[in-house]
C-alpha cells in the first residue's frame, strides 16, 4: 500500500535499539524507552507559506533521522502490519549521514 503524507508531514518507521546494554544487561520491554531514531519512508510536498508558495522539505525518503520525544502522544499508525509514526518536519532534529 502506498502512503503519501500531506504538506510538511513525514512518515517514519522507528529503528529498534538493542535489548541489552554494552555490559550485557537485558532491558525488559516494560521499562525500555521507545527509540528516537527512524528511517523516513515518505514525505509530503512541503510547507505552504501564507503567500501560497510551497517550500520543499529538507528530508527525503531513506534518510535516517533523530526526532524529538513526543510529549503528549504520537500519531502512530499500522500499515500492512508495520508500525509507523507521522511527524511534522519541525519535530525532526537531525539527519544522520553515513
**Residues paired with 85 in a beta bridge:** 12, 76
- Cβ–Cβ < 8 Å for 38, 63: no
73: in domain: yes
Higher pLDDT pick, 45 / 77: 45
Give the C-alpha separation, 90 to 42, whole Å. 15
83: in domain: yes
1: in domain: no
Q: Mind listing the pLDDT tens digit for each residue in 18-69?
A: 565 566 666 555 545 566 889 999 999 988 899 989 999 999 999 999 888 7
32: in domain: yes
Instruction: State the residue range of the domain holding 64.
Output: 9-17+27-96
**Residues paired with 77 in a beta bridge:** 84
2: in domain: no
Provide the number of structural domains found in the chain: 1
**Residues paired with 65 in a beta bridge:** 38, 95
CATH number at 34 reads 2.30.33.40
22: in domain: no
Amino acid at each position: 500500500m502506498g502512503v503519501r503524507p500531506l504538506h510538511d508531514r513525514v512518515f517514519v518507521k522507528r529503528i529498534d535499539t538493542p535489548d541489552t546494554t554494552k555490559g550485557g544487561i537485558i532491558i525488559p520491554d516494560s521499562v525500555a524507552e521507545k527509540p528516537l531514531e527512524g528511517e523516513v519512508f515518505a514525505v509530503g510536498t512541503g510547507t505552504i507559506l501564507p503567500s501560497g508558495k510551497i517550500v520543499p522539505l529538507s528530508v527525503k525518503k531513506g534518510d535516517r533521522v533523530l526526532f524529538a520525544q513526543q510529549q503528549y502522544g504520537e500519531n502512530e499508525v499500522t500499515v500492512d502490519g508495520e508500525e509507523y509514526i507521522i511527524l511534522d518536519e519541525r519535530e525532526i532534529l537531525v539527519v544522520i549521514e553515513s
